[in-house]
Amino acid sequence: MSKNQNLTKDVDKVSLAAKAAFGGGIVCVAMGANGLQIIGKPVLNIIYGMDPAVIGLILAVMRIWDGLLDPIMGRVSDNSRLNYGRRKPYIIIGSVLTGLVFPLIWWMDPNWSDFQKSGYFFGACLLFYACFTVVSVPYNTLSVELTPDYSERSRVRAACSVANVFIFIVYGWTFSLTQMGWFESPEASMRVLAVVIALFMIIFGVFSGVVPQERYRKLAVKQEKVSIFKSFKEFLCDRNFLLMKGIGLGIVFGNNIVGFLAQYVEIFYVFEGNLVKGAMFSALNMTLLKLMELLTIFLLVRYFMNYDKRKVIMVLLGITIVGVLAKWFLYNPNYPYLIFVSGFYMGPITAGFWMLYSSLQSDYPDYDEYKNGLRREGTYSALGGWLVKVTVAIAMVCSGVILNITGFDQELRGDQPENTFLLMRILMILLPFLFYSLSFYCLVKFALTKEKMQEIRDTLEERRNAV
């Protein structure tokens, strides 16, 4: 890997307070992006008795609904001329609304009919994702505008990744905590946890909209209004945009298509259907994974910030592909503690990859301005979000269907037929391997290197007299 020794200028550095505040905002954004799926699948299936295929279908429809709203929110944000900024007011309002709605999702009664539970969950999610869009698009867009520096953008994303580690530890423990018997029923425990999570969503979300500063707000005031359809056409016809999205979408699809399988293999295969023990080990495994992520983030920030992001991601993705294949041996009911080893392989992808890939995405609007002459980060973020959400929607529908195809029967718990467990294990490994390999191919072909981005920045600052 070639190393460029260019140091970040003081004017391009983001303050520690701004990094911390922006990173904390991921508490709210991550819940809509991943948390509801991670928490909802086992809770809704095992506690509330909903069919996994129905859960997957509703969540898929919600992602499409969220994706349809994204371009509207992106255009509204790009074309806003508010004194407080184009992004920050929406982040504050959206965080409050999203946090207020989140606990409502879990107020259904497990004794309701399947139709009633499905209808309630559908309606609550419809409202939740409408509010979520208001915060998610401006938040993701703001990350692009905090600094123009190639390496500093990675440091900003490192703050998000650190916060994300602790968020996912909470996700991993949520189902386990509902099984502890602290309240009169698992669903009561879930409702208490939902209220606590919602408070943190509001607090951290508001801070992320108050403290950081928008860099290109004054520049954008002078430009023409952004058109959604023209922008989408130009993005989708650009080879670098398609390759960049291919990198991320391969990982997203590979992760989400086996969303049910990994946790179910842990609980019902490795721990033979013991919900308390299986959920506990699953949560401990998630915790170890997140500790490995913290180590990965530290090493990247300490030693690799001046390297080309593309090449570092290649190494991390290669490690993860090896880790996926190793799960065949690590998920073993005779040696259950081996599941903890998977954290050493999967930590790099869940922290290092997303930290650097998010930073890589933050570089693209500079390339877009260089090529097309517009700052349209909101529309760019909205299209990227829409593609991710459609991908997640398709994967979630597939994940519920795949679990049913394996023949898994919730009533049998750990007494599933041997062929069911065999098929679950094969699919848990094969599907991520194929899609991670696709991401690796797109990464090899991606052309926006560190040297190219420095050339683009120099050209832009000469064209617009700095900024």
What residues pair up with 3 in beta bridges, in sequence order? 307
The span from the CA of 135 to the CA of 74, in Å, is: 11
Contact 161, 25 (CB under 8 A): no
- b vs e for 34-65, b when ≥16 Cβ sit within 10 Å of the residue's Cβ? bbbbbbbbbbbbbbbebbbbbbbbbbbbbbbb
- Maximum distance among all alpha carbons in the chain? 69
Q: DSSP code of 271?
A: S
* pLDDT number for residue 395: 83
Q: Round to whole Å and give the CA distance between 268 and 266.
A: 6
Q: Which two tokens stand for residue 292?
A: 């490995």
Q: What confidence score (pLDDT) does residue 433 get?
A: 93
Residue 410: DSSP 8-state:
G
Give me the pLDDT at residue 430, please.
Answer: 92
| Residues near 262 by beta carbon (within 8 Å), at least 6 away in sequence | 428
pLDDT of residue 201: 92
Instruction: Please tell me whether residue 279 adopts helix, strand or coil conformation.
Output: helix
Domain ranges in the chain are: 15-209+228-463
Q: Per-residue pLDDT for the chain (467 aa), expressed as one digit of tens each?
A: 445 445 777 777 888 898 999 988 888 888 877 788 778 878 888 888 888 878 888 888 887 888 788 888 888 887 777 777 788 899 999 999 999 999 999 998 888 998 999 999 999 999 999 999 999 889 988 887 888 888 888 888 888 888 887 887 787 778 778 877 788 888 888 889 899 999 999 999 999 988 888 776 565 556 566 677 788 888 888 999 999 999 999 988 888 887 667 778 877 888 776 777 776 777 777 777 778 888 888 888 888 888 888 889 998 888 888 888 988 998 888 888 887 787 677 766 677 888 888 888 888 888 888 888 877 877 887 788 788 878 877 887 787 788 888 888 767 766 778 888 899 889 989 999 999 999 999 999 998 988 898 899 889 888 877 55
Report whether 313 contacts 443 (CB < 8 A): yes
pLDDT of residue 226: 67
State the pLDDT at residue 90: 93
Question: What's the CATH superfamily of 15-209+228-463?
Answer: MFS general substrate transporter like domains (1.20.1250.20)
Q: Look at residue 247 in the predicted model and tell me its pLDDT.
A: 93
The 8-class DSSP code of residue 224 comes to P
Question: Do the Cβ atoms of 184 and 48 come closer than 8 Å?
Answer: no
Q: Which residues contact 332 (CB under 8 A, 6 or more apart)?
A: 270, 338
